[in-house]
Amino acid sequence: MANETPTHDARLRDLEAEAFRTGRTLAEHSEQLTTIRDQQRTAFGNIDSLANAVGAPGDRSIAQRLDTIERVLFALARAQGVDPDAV
């Protein structure tokens, strides 16, 4: 029985270490999800702003507005050295 206590203590330390690592990993994933949500919110806000800049909803059809937005985004990608056709 004397040998069981050190084994039990070692196992308990292992479990505590694993719980700590898991908690840290979950916290890191939570931070990443928050960052992704912020990026999505910004992207959708930019799309809304761009759509509003292209024209009011009644001015042109959605297809025409989206076509204009697509052309603007392609031009921005090319300006940054990205070939949108290759992506």
pLDDT for residue 3: 57
How high is the mean pLDDT of the chain?
A: 81
3-state helix, strand, coil in the chain (%, to 5): 80, 0, 20
Q: Is the pLDDT of residue 5 over 80?
A: no
Q: Is the pLDDT of residue 70 over 80?
A: yes
Contact 69, 79 (CB under 8 A): no
Instruction: Determine which helix (DSSP H) or strand (DSSP E) holds 84, and give its type and residue range.
Output: none
Using DSSP, state whether 56 is helix, strand or coil.
coil
Nearest alpha carbon to residue 12 among 20, 24, 25 = 20
22-62: pLDDT as tens digits: 888 888 888 889 998 888 888 888 777 777 766 666 677 77
Q: Is the pLDDT of residue 19 over 80?
A: yes
Query: Which two tokens mark 34?
Result: 């928050």
